[in-house]
Amino acid sequence: MSRANSLSRANRRNGLLFCLPWLIGLTVFLIYPLCAAFYYSLCDYSVLLPPVFIGFDNYLDLAKDPLFWKSLGNTAYFAAGSVSLGLLVSLSLALLLNSKVKALGVYRTIFFLPSLMPVVASSILWMWMYNGQSGLINTGLRALGISGPAWLADPIWAKPAIVIMAVWGAGNAMVVYLAGLQDVPASLYEAALIDGAGFFQRLIHVTIPMISPVIYFNVVLSLISGFQAFTQAFIMTGSTGAPERSTLFYVLNLYNVGFQDLRMGYASAMAWVLFVIILLLTWAATKLSQRFVTYDR
């Protein structure tokens, strides 16, 4: 009895020791900043001077700030666009690359490659692609007899342009889908085939339900990263979110307020609102997943 007790004590101690580096990291780099940011969000804080407590003023000001709503709207547009389009493209690619064709590895590598590129580099590359005068996209469109817009300089097209660029990095999600697809038992497809199911019936009734946990995982991850979009806009259209603030994303606005205007208290309030939004969306996705996601257990 006592030996079993000391063994479990030793296990607990060892377990804690092994977890410790992570626990320290979590506390120092996540929990503390999170709590500190919440405190600062209740203060008037410029980073350079000690914080002055002002209660919920920052949050009240946020509700009245048109730029807050504008940037939230832009970000929601980007997240919705990049998540849905990303899902469609990466799942389609994974389905294509899950078939048995020659040189499959080469294709998989080619489609995965763009996602390895740093966002800064791909943003600069896409700036050239989107060039209204001599960009690859407009040159292609011209060959089809279409006069393309000045993409990044046009308030109507700048946001869709950044969404399209996000889809280019769908390789990561594609690989995860591919792994999910390969886990679908062949017997289910065989049974469906015997029952006379066509490609789309198999896709809807076998493939998608079987990989639904993977879809859920990818959607939640891309939703989170969608709401944190920053680099693309910062590089491609500048920190003002030009043209006409059509690419002023939430985090870009937060950066401007915190680091350019030295209003770190207000920026902290913005960060907390974003945190709550992402939390709520993830919760909603989890609720939905209980209805639509099937775990093979």
Q: Is 253 exposed, middle or buried (0-12, 13-18, 19+ CB in 10 A)?
A: buried
- Which of 4/49 has CB closer to other proteins? 49
Given 33, 38, 44, 224, the residue binding other proteins (CB under 8 A): 44
Given 122, 123, 131, 268, the residue binding other proteins (CB under 8 A): 131
CA gap 158, 184 in Å, rounded: 40
Q: Are 122 and 162 in contact (CB under 8 A)?
A: no
Q: Is 48 in the site for other proteins (CB under 8 A)?
A: yes
DSSP state of 28: I
Per-residue contact flags (x/-) with other proteins for residues 138 to 177, judged by CB under 8 A? ------------x-xxxx----------------------
Q: Is 132 in the site for other proteins (CB under 8 A)?
A: yes
229 CB-near residues (< 8 Å, 6+ apart): 75, 78, 79, 82, 162, 166, 249, 250, 251
Q: Which stretch binds other proteins (CB under 8 A): 129-137, 179-187, 196-204, 278-286?
A: 129-137
Q: Is 133 in the site for other proteins (CB under 8 A)?
A: yes
Q: Are 184 and 210 in contact (CB under 8 A)?
A: yes
CB of 245 to other proteins, least distance (A): 6
- What does DSSP say about strands 43-44 and 52-53: parallel, antiparallel, or unpaired? antiparallel
- Which of 131/218 has CB closer to other proteins? 131
- Which of 68/217 has CB closer to other proteins? 68
CB of 296 to other proteins, least distance (A): 49
Q: Is 259 in the site for other proteins (CB under 8 A)?
A: yes
Q: Are 215 and 199 in contact (CB under 8 A)?
A: no
- Which of 52/203 has CB closer to other proteins? 52
Q: Is 243 in the site for other proteins (CB under 8 A)?
A: yes
Q: Which stretch binds other proteins (CB under 8 A): 11-19, 91-99, 127-135, 182-190?
A: 127-135
- Which of 184/252 has CB closer to other proteins? 252
Given 119, 188, 235, 262, the residue binding other proteins (CB under 8 A): 262
Number of other CB atoms surrounding residue 220 within 10 Å: 17
Region label for 52, one of left (φ > 0), alpha (ψ between -120 and 50) or beta (otherwise) = beta
CA gap 276, 267 in Å, rounded: 14
Query: How many CA atoms are closer than 13 Å to the CA of 227, on its beta-carbon side?
Result: 19
Phi, psi (degrees; rounded to nearest 5) at 116: -85, -15
Q: Which stretch binds other proteins (CB under 8 A): 164-172, 222-230, 239-247, 283-291?
A: 239-247
Q: Is 182 in the site for other proteins (CB under 8 A)?
A: no
Return residues touching other proteins (CB under 8 A).
44, 46-49, 52, 54, 131-135, 150, 152-155, 239-240, 242-245, 256, 259-262
